[in-house]
Amino acid sequence: MKRIMWERFARPQTRARKGHVVLLGDSGHVLAPHTGAVASAVLGQAQALDSDGLRTFSRKGQSLSLCFAPQNIYADIGDFSSVSAEATQAHIRAAVDKIRLFKDDYRIAYAKLNDIDAARGSYSYLVIPVTELDTFIEQVDPDNAIVDMFCPVEAALAAAMGSLGHEMTVLVYEDNRFIRIIAAKDGIIYHLTTINSAESFDPLLDTVSGVHESISLLKNSYRQDVAKVYTLGKGTINQESLSELALDTEPFPLCTKDNPDLTYPVLLGTILQTRYDFTPDRLRVVKRLSTYARVSTAVSLAMACAALVLFIIAGSNFMALSGIRKELKNANYRNAEMLKLIEQDYTQLSRDLNLTDFNSIMQAYQQFQREPRLPAIVDAVSRRTPALVFLTKIELKRPAASEGEPAARVEPAEEGVENRTAQVDYFHLEIDGIINSAYPRSKEIFSTLISNMQGVYPVDSAAFSHKQDQAVFSLKCKVRL
């Protein structure tokens, strides 16, 4: 027979924050909604459901955590390879094959206790026949059900026991057909004993013997002391009957007088369980595809929202563009009106303006632009003035009318006479100053000054006179245009 390969079971599962947990039975089932996952889980009101109703419900896309009560289950602890999940699975399967407990194919789920070295570790594992697993998994739609967890009731109760503390405890759980003795710590099963009530000659005595056997095994093999022994169930195995045989027990804390529902610890433990998962591959594929579908839907929704936002922005931009176009049209209209007014003003100005003197005005302006600037002349004279010379006067004069040239730059035109612009070729420059030096040194300085000025502004006349320790001078130069 070809073996069905299973994925990793020891790794903690990613559980849905909201879903339903189901306790599977032979014909009737118990279903309860839950919110939160693992430690923060909160159970809702449980309800009974038949197989047809459960199969219909499993098609609705709700996340399901399934728990079942197997008739045949084997539990043990051993040292196996920890190189990879596949190596661990193969090593455990080889150990199970050696004891020849199962004739048909079976499936394994395991949880790591601790590492021995880099290549080996101690593992707690459960073994259940494939035929029994398939019988329970057929209660839901295998093509549409989204299964988060598929674990036996022993694993669910071990997780519920682990939620009470970190001590080693033993639970005696009795259902309609079996008495299950579960020794667990932190949700990991160390020892498991299953007693068939119908086939046992004395179920109560077998239960007490099974509890003592578990306590002895835990102490001698695993060095674990049992802190408490709990009871859970409505059958003959209860706290009073066990105390008569000198076995002190306590009622399971998750099922009290205020909360007598015996399915509550199993349902809660199924949500808390993250290790012993027997979910088949085909249901894992369905869950993975549903996750992809949710992601795809979320992305599509986000894209639709983005498209809506872009559409709103585009609409807003279109409205703004319409307003801008309207304003631009109005501005063009106003500019055309203003241009029309400017053309009218230009036409009126051209008609009224007398341009006969335009050439004379331009000549006068050009002549003005050619005239020397006093600041530039002062700078040029100062740069050529020797030391000990102090300038007292720099004066720039236009040639007088007596020299044959009109005094004004532009003479007003007389009636009947053509306008003309005064033209000059040079300006008069007068420079007066003092030389603070005794004679004859003062005369040498004066000669140097004349020589310096001659290269820039030709000297027409020069006057020099000496008074005590200083001399005064005057220069008349021409500034050519």
pLDDT (tens digit per residue) in 250-274: 888 887 555 556 788 899 888 888 7
CA distance 148 to 270: 10
Asked if residue 192 has pLDDT above 90, the reply is: yes
> Any residues with CB less than 8 A from the CB of 386 and at least 6 apart, and which?
445, 448, 449, 452
**Domains delineated in the chain:** 18-285 (3.30.420.380), 372-480 (3.30.70.60)
| First CA to last CA distance, the chain | 122
- Confidence (pLDDT) at 412: 47
Q: What is the pLDDT of residues 108-142, one digit of tens each?
A: 999 998 999 989 999 999 999 999 998 888 888 88
Type of residue found at 160:
A
Name the residue with higher pLDDT: 41 or 387: 387
SS3 427: strand
In the block, tokens 């395991």 appear at 110
Asked if residue 62 has pLDDT above 90, the reply is: no
The residue-averaged pLDDT of 141-150 equals 84
Q: What is the pLDDT of residues 383-435, one digit of tens each?
A: 899 988 999 999 988 887 555 444 444 444 444 444 444 577 888 999 999 99
- Confidence (pLDDT) at 416: 43
Omega of the bond leading into 440 within 30 degrees of 0 (cis): yes
- Portion of the chain with pLDDT greater than 70, in percent: 89
Name the residue with higher pLDDT: 26 or 181: 181
The residue-averaged pLDDT of 226-237 equals 86
The residue-averaged pLDDT of 468-477 equals 90
**Where do the DSSP E strands lie in 44-159?**
47-50, 63-68, 74-81, 106-115, 120-129, 146-152
Asked if residue 4 has pLDDT above 90, the reply is: no
- Confidence (pLDDT) at 152: 93
Asked if residue 20 has pLDDT above 60, the reply is: yes
Name the residue with higher pLDDT: 27 or 168: 168
pTM score of the predicted model: 0.60
- Confidence (pLDDT) at 272: 86
- Portion of the chain with pLDDT greater than 90, in percent: 35
CA distance 70 to 58: 21
- Confidence (pLDDT) at 421: 45
The residue-averaged pLDDT of 331-345 equals 91
- Confidence (pLDDT) at 12: 40
Asked if residue 245 has pLDDT above 90, the reply is: no
Name the residue with higher pLDDT: 315 or 37: 315
Stretch (H or E) spanning 301 = helix 281-352
The residue-averaged pLDDT of 367-377 equals 83
Is residue 104 within 8 A of residue 82, CB to CB? The reply is no
Residue 367, both tokens: 């002549």
Q: Which of 183-192, 252-261, 356-365 reaches the highest mean pLDDT?
A: 183-192
The residue-averaged pLDDT of 23-48 equals 81
Label residue 106 by pLDDT band (50, 70, 90). Answer: very high
- Confidence (pLDDT) at 401: 54
Is residue 248 within 8 A of residue 229, CB to CB? The reply is yes
The residue-averaged pLDDT of 149-163 equals 91
Q: Is residue 62 exposed (0-12), middle (13-18) or buried (19+ Cβ within 10 Å)?
A: middle
- Confidence (pLDDT) at 9: 32
Q: What is the pLDDT of residues 68-99, one digit of tens each?
A: 999 999 999 999 998 998 999 999 999 999 98
- Confidence (pLDDT) at 418: 44
